[in-house]
């Protein structure tokens, strides 16, 4: 959760004097977010390949310390160039976090359990936003040494995240096989379920050449486009809600509170999904939440009434928060094995998060206040996400029926050979 505070931190820093404090030009304002995402995107998929070769508690501690120090070092940036370089390192280290968590959850849960757990994990994002906004505003409002307001935010966020990262070394359990909190009977039941459905993560081995073969699966790229639309919306709102709020006429402190409000309704959206929508088809939830996001965003930017714009700016968070883990989980549960799920999720996240390279350029101050090009991309990408979700649902239903009607005997293949078929195994059924 502390790592996920970064989006709120940089958004708060932008409205609490960082632009003037570092004399950032329009180009540099774009660079500090664009270069973060360039390094973040480049290393997401490779990070999951590396993680499979390292024990999770070591992996998460190492990258955690890396991005914690990078967060702290932003306090000492002297100009836009320093900040851009530091945020590039931040993107490099953070690249292994979300794909790593997505893969790590697959170590512990079956396909039917994974989507719910994914959403529960992603609750950390709105919670981080809710805590981050008042935290940032409080730090920015006090005088600490010679720090400028935005420097307080970076300094204390970095220190807190370093502490949490070190604690991960002692708190994270690598695999169910050696988890001490299970009784012998519980462990045997869990391992049997996991082994039957997808194989044990501790026993699963994969190669780089095998990972490249996964790139030929057309379904991966469709899911990546679905996620792109959702990720673009989430990135835009996490980075620029305070900026958009300022364009409506609110002060920096008020903008930080509005930012927190968007995460509060996002948390509510995720809770509604967990209790009421988790049993519905994936496309239903993705369509519902994407429509809410698109309509709310349009009204927030283009309506005339200030209060109406404020209400719908906050409501944008209701859709983006739950849609993100739903899209990721839908891909992950339809891969047929731990290794393919890890690599495919890394590629999906890599593709979707590339929106963070493009969008910051479309929300620079020169495009204030309507951000027309950014808004076109925002709405178009969400629409594509909805359309492709419907297409994949139709395809999966037809493919499942085809496999039901045309059973194939592969009993002559070894268990290892059958596992290597992943979702192409004739007994595999896609979840819709």
Phi, psi for 117 (deg, rounded to 5): -65, -35
Q: How many CB atoms lie within 10 A of CB 279?
A: 6
Residue (of 209, 221, 235, 239) closest to 351 by Cα position? 221
Rounded CA-CA distance 239/101 in Å is 22
DSSP string, 346-399: HHHHHHHHTHHHHHHHHTSGGGTTT-HHHHHHHHHHHHHHHHHHHHHHHHHHHH
Cα–Cα distance for residue pair 78/352, rounded to 1 Å: 32
Using CB atoms within 10 Å of the CB of residue 389, give its burial: 0 to 12 exposed, 13 to 18 middle, 19+ buried: buried
Of 264, 387, 284, residue with least CA distance to 326: 284
The HSE-up count of residue 387 (CA atoms within 13 Å, CB side) is: 8
Rg of the chain, C-alpha, whole Å? 22
**CATH fit for domain 5-424, picks 3.30.1490.190, 2.60.40.420, 1.20.1250.20, 2.60.40.10:** 1.20.1250.20
Q: Distance (Å, rounded) from C-alpha 366 to C-alpha 95?
A: 30
What is the b/e burial string over 67-90, where b = at least 16 CB atoms within 10 angstroms of the residue's CB?
bbbbbbbbbebeebeebbbbbbbb
Neighbours of 412 (CB within 10 A): 6
d(CA 332, CA 309): 36
Which residues are CB-contacts of 4 (< 8 A; sequence separation ≥ 6)? 124, 125, 128
DSSP secondary structure code for residue 176 in this structure: G
- Residue 423's SS3 state is helix
Peptide bond into 235 cis (omega under 30): no
Expressed in angstroms, the distance from the first to the final Cα of the chain is 29
The single residue listed with the structure tokens 């994914």 is 118
Q: What residues have CB less than 8 Å from 233, skipping those under 6 apart?
A: 290, 293, 294, 297, 316, 319, 320, 323, 378, 381, 382
CA distance 163 to 185: 35
pLDDT value at residue 282: 93
Q: What is the widest separation between alpha-carbon atoms in the chain?
A: 73
Residue 304 CA to its chain's centroid (Å): 32
Please tell me the predicted confidence (pLDDT) of residue 30. Answer: 78
Per-chain mean pLDDT for the chain: 85
Q: Give dist(CA 373, CA 157) in Å, integer.
A: 33
Mean pLDDT by 10 residues, the chain (432 residues): 63 80 84 85 84 87 92 90 92 88 84 81 79 75 82 87 90 84 83 70 67 90 96 83 78 78 90 84 94 93 87 90 91 86 88 84 75 89 97 97 92 81 88 90
Q: How far is CA 419 from CA 139, 399, 404, 423, 426, in A?
A: 52, 19, 19, 9, 11
Tens digit of each residue's pLDDT (9 = 90 or more) over 209-253: 788 888 899 999 999 999 999 999 988 887 777 777 877 788 877
* Residue in the block written with tokens 């290597």: 420
Rounded Cα distance, 177 and 202, in Å: 8
Q: Residue 101: which of 289, 346, 386, 340 has the closest Cα?
A: 346
Instruction: Sketch the domain layout of the chain as residue ranges.
Output: 5-424
CA–CA distance, 401 with 259 (Å, rounded to integer):
46
Query: How many angstroms separate the Cα of 380 from the Cα of each of 72, 226, 228, 383?
Result: 37, 11, 11, 5
Distance (Å, whole) CA 397 – CA 205: 31
Helix, strand, coil shares, percent, the chain, to 5 = 80, 0, 20
What are the tokens at 69?
């120090």
């Amino acid at each position: 959760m502390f790592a996920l505070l970064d989006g709120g931190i940089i958004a708060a820093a932008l409205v609490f004097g960082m632009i003037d404090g570092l004399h950032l030009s329009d180009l540099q304002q774009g660079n500090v977010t664009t270069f973060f995402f360039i390094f973040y995107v480049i290393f997401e998929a490779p990070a999951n390949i590396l993680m499979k070769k390292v024990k999770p508690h070591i992996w998460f501690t190492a990258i955690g310390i890396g991005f914690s120090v990078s967060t702290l070092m932003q306090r000492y940036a002297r100009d836009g160039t320093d900040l851009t370089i530091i945020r590039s390192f931040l993107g490099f280290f953070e690249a292994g976090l979300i794909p790593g968590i997505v893969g790590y959850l697959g170590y512990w849960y079956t396909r039917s359990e994974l989507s719910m757990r994914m959403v529960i994990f992603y609750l950390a994002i709105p919670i981080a936003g809710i805590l981050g906004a008042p935290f940032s505003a409080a730090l920015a409002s006090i005088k600490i040494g010679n720090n400028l307001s935005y420097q307080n935010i970076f300094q204390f966020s970095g220190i807190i995240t370093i502490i949490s990262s070190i604690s991960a070394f002692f708190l994270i359990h690598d695999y169910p096989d050696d988890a001490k909190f299970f009784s012998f009977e519980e462990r045997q039941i869990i391992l049997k379920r996991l082994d039957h459905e997808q194989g044990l993560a501790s026993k699963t081995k994969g190669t780089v050449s095998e990972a490249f073969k996964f790139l030929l699966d057309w379904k991966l790229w469709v899911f990546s486009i679905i996620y792109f639309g959702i990720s673009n919306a989430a990135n835009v709102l996490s980075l620029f809600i305070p900026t958009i709020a300022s364009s409506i006429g609110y002060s920096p402190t008020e903008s930080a509170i509005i930012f927190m409000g968007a995460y509060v309704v996002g948390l509510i959206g995720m809770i509604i999904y967990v209790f009421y929508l988790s049993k519905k088809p994936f496309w239903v939830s993705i369509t519902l939440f994407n429509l809410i996001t698109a309509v709310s965003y349009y009204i927030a930017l283009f309506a005339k009434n200030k209060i109406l714009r404020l209400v719908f700016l906050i409501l944008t968070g209701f859709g983006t928060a739950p849609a993100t883990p739903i899209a990721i989980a839908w891909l992950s549960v339809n891969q047929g094995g731990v290794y393919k799920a890890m690599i495919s999720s890394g590629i999906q996240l890599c593709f979707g998060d590339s929106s963070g390279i493009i969008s910051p350029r479309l929300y620079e101050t020169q495009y204030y206040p309507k951000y027309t090009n950014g808004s076109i991309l925002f709405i178009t990408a969400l629409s594509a996400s909805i359309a492709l979700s419907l297409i994949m649902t139709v395809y999966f239903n037809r493919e499942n029926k085809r496999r039901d009607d045309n059973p194939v005997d592969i009993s002559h293949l070894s268990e290892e050979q059958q596992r290597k078929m992943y979702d192409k195994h004739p007994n595999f059924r896609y979840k819709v």
